[in-house]
Structure formats: structure tokens, C-alpha cells
């Protein structure tokens, strides 16, 4: 039974994940193409999101400082530091943004 799960179950599960990922991309694109006027807010939101991500990437620091200068961290390159700096900044920014939007929406709903 274990051999069956490894030899058949895992490849089938991987195939289904790939199919789901493809469909998760294809169906929204089809919706946007069929309803461009209704989808304008979605397109603008994606554009704003991409603009924020590009700004964060451009402003991310790639400088290797502190403990990462030690020889035990010789594998840490400038590109890794830039990716880590970008990821931390984006994570904090979007978490704070989501928190603020949640509070703002609740306040707006309270007054409706």
C-alpha cells in the first residue's frame, strides 16, 4: 500500500496541483477578457500592487552588514540580502495595510 501511494499517489497529487494552478490563472483571465468594464477595479488593484512591489524591490538594500560578514555566512550574497530585505519590508507593509483596512472597513460598516 505504501508503495502504491509513493509511486502513483504522489505523481497524481502533483499533477492535480499543477492543473489547479493553471486553472487558477486561466479562469480569472477569461473573466477579465469577457467583462473588461466590470474588471477595471481588479486590473487597477493588480497594477497598484505591482507598482508597490516594484518600488519596494528598487528601494531594498543589498548591503551585507553585521553578523552576515562572518565567514560562516559566506553563502549570503548581495542578491540574497536584497531579496530578504524586500520580503521583510513587503510583509510588514502588507500586514499593516491589511490591519488598517480591516479596521477602516469595520468602522465604515458600523455607520451604514
Cell of 2: 505504501
Cell output for 46? 493588480
Alpha-carbon dihedral sign for residues 25, 27, 32, 34: positive
Residues of the chain with pLDDT under 50: none
User: Dihedrals φ, ψ of 39, to 5°?
Assistant: -90, 0
How much is the pLDDT for 4? Answer: 76
pLDDT given at position 68: 78
For residue range 2-33, list pLDDT tens digits in order: 787 778 888 999 999 999 999 999 998 898 88
Amino acid at each position: 500500500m505504501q508503495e502504491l501511494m509513493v509511486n502513483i499517489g504522489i505523481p497524481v497529487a502533483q499533477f492535480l496541483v499543477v492543473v489547479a494552478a493553471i486553472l487558477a490563472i486561466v479562469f480569472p483571465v477569461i473573466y477579465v477578457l469577457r467583462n473588461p468594464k466590470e474588471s477595471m477595479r481588479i486590473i487597477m488593484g493588480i497594477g497598484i500592487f505591482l507598482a508597490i512591489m516594484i518600488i519596494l524591490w528598487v528601494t531594498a538594500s543589498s548591503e551585507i552588514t553585521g553578523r552576515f560578514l562572518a565567514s560562516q555566512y559566506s553563502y549570503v550574497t548581495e542578491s540574497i540580502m536584497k531579496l530578504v530585505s524586500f520580503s521583510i519590508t513587503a510583509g510588514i507593509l502588507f500586514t499593516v495595510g491589511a490591519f488598517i483596512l480591516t479596521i477602516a472597513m469595520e468602522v465604515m460598516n458600523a455607520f451604514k
